[in-house]
Structure 1
């Protein structure tokens, strides 16, 4: 029997980057070598990571390995969510190209993920500090005299 193929996806959120590998399996999710519930302690972060899997009914059919770095916990969860969605999209391949071919499960999965917002990058980043200022926008108190 041949080794199962890995499907890769990259997700980004704020300053976090997640590299995701998906393969056929029993539903194990590892984040930086730890179990999902040991790495993401809050329920909302765990739901963000498993959201694309639950939406496509693949939660117990694939093993997910995630490597995240940068940013905070919630940013890493958002990056992992996008990475999982992108990996699922590559796993089921591109949509059918010919017009006479009926819509298959694969194109339906990509459309489901897109419509639910899992494939969309949240582009909000922290604004950089400017010179002559206290922060990005805040300034020192102005004195006329």
Structure 2
């Protein structure tokens, strides 16, 4: 490997997919070629992305480049958190002991149920008429 180690990982939530590349650096986070404070408008979403770094005491030690697609802003933020957590555990297996109990390594599988043919929605049915 080169002098600066790079680790990449993929995180998902619902239909959001985030590809993350972690390199040792100054703590700069870029999401889809935008600064992460511009991309994630609320402090809650920003804290979701920064949570893995806070729990392993690695704030401002890594530069993060993210490519994220699909879903909404919240789903994307959690997908980014999932990818960062995976990348940090790949970098140092000791980090897994700190991150795993928080649930950051668990992929949230909940998705919208598909619409069924012959019916108006996923669960909704047309009104039944006996006569």
- TM-score category by the smaller chain? over 0.9
Quick one: distance in 2 between partners of 1:40 and 1:135? 32
How far the C-alpha of 1:42 sits from its partner, in A, is 1.8
1:97-136 equivalence runs, <5 A: 107=94, 109-136=95-122
Tell me if 1:142 matches 2:128. yes
TM-score (norm 2): 0.94
* Number of residue pairs matched by the alignment: 130
What stretches of structure 1 move > 2 A for 4+ residues in a row? none
Q: State the match for 1:16 in structure 2.
A: 16
Which of the two has higher C-alpha Rg?
Answer: 1
TM-score (norm 1): 0.86
Other structure's SS at 1:75 match: helix
Q: State the match for 2:82 in structure 1.
A: 82
How far the C-alpha of 1:3 sits from its partner, in A, is 4.0
Q: State the match for 2:52 in structure 1.
A: 52
Structure 1 unaligned segments of length 5 or more: list them: 95-106
CA RMSD of aligned residues (A): 1.1
Quick one: distance in 1 between partners of 2:115 and 2:125? 11
